[in-house]
Amino acid sequence: MSLPLSGKVAIVTGSSRSIGAAIATKLASQGANVVINYRSGSSAAQGVADAINTEGAGKAIIVQADVSTVVDNQRLVQETVRQLGRLDIVVLNAGIMDMKSPADVTEADFDRHYNTNVKGPLFLAQAAAPHLPAGGRVIFFSTSLSSASSVAPNYLLYVSTKGAIEQISRTLAKEFGPRNITVNTVAPGPIDTDMFRNDKTEQQINFISALHPQKRLGKPEEIANVVAFLTSPEASWVNGQTLRVNGGFVV
């Protein structure tokens, strides 16, 4: 049986765990060959790749790359094409979020957030562009907080990077559109991952869960399902959009 992504190749940045791992697993289940990327968690990346190669319809390879740097992004694309022969889908999922009061933000904090959340995705999309065929897909990652009516001050750096990436995504949709490549952004609400749980008390987690109509956090698989839709042929007319996937999260 032919699957929607049979014969396609996808890079998913930051796919050694959490949302990225769920996306890579989902795309492989749809027939894609996937690149598992990580920065430092090699054993986690191996676990995701092993599971896909045991159970997935597509196969997985692993490419370590620090996607906050231009040189590693270029190498990631080169390795993908060298090992898998093509590149159809780029999911720019890797991101970081440190909570800090605006008064305490340093230049190093700023550079780390902008390098990982803005510079890296932009230059990976640039490096991938010459390889992407008609029907190609580029999917950036933002946060539902970028449209929240009130955001706590300690999200300052994080939400500002995500605002930038939404603008980059909209602009690249115009640039790549004539080649029939779509560019969209997925903006999750709170999802139960390491990033979300880091630095939060159980009380804070319960409070945030209760802000959802369903009184729970989202799951990585619920984001992966939306990414899978965007990569499918059925999403050919969805372009330049930011999809807020948050269960109706109210902030």
Ligand X SMILES: NC(=O)c1ccc[n+]([C@@H]2O[C@H](COP(=O)([O-])OP(=O)(O)OC[C@H]3O[C@@H](n4cnc5c(N)ncnc54)[C@H](OP(=O)(O)O)[C@@H]3O)[C@@H](O)[C@H]2O)c1
Q: How far apart are CA 169 and CA 112, in angstroms?
A: 20
Site string for ligand X, 43-72 (x = CB under 6 A): -----------------------xxx----
Nearer to ligand X, 46 or 135 (CB): 46
Residues 6+ away with beta carbon under 8 Å from 107: none
Instruction: Number of residues interacting with ligand X: please give it, by CB under 6 A.
Output: 30
Site string for ligand X, 172-201 (x = CB under 6 A): ----------------x-xx-xxxx-----
Nearer to ligand X, 20 or 56 (CB): 20
Q: What share of the chain is helix, strand, coil (3-state, %, to 5)?
A: 50, 15, 35
Nearer to ligand X, 155 or 176 (CB): 155
| 185 phi/psi in degrees, rounded to 5 | -125, 135
Residues in the chain: 251
The per-residue DSSP string of 37-48 comes to EESS-HHHHHHH
Under rule CB under 6 A, residue 249 binds ligand X: no
Q: How far apart are CA 63 and CA 8, in angstroms?
A: 17
Binder of ligand X out of 24, 30, 35, 38 (CB under 6 A): 38
Segment interacting with ligand X, rule: CB under 6 A, options 8-16, 26-34, 79-87, 227-235: 8-16
In contact, 13 and 20? CB cutoff 8 Å = yes
Under rule CB under 6 A, residue 95 binds ligand X: yes
Residues of this chain that bind ligand X (CB under 6 A): 13-14, 16-20, 37-41, 66-68, 93-97, 116, 141, 143, 188, 190-191, 193-196
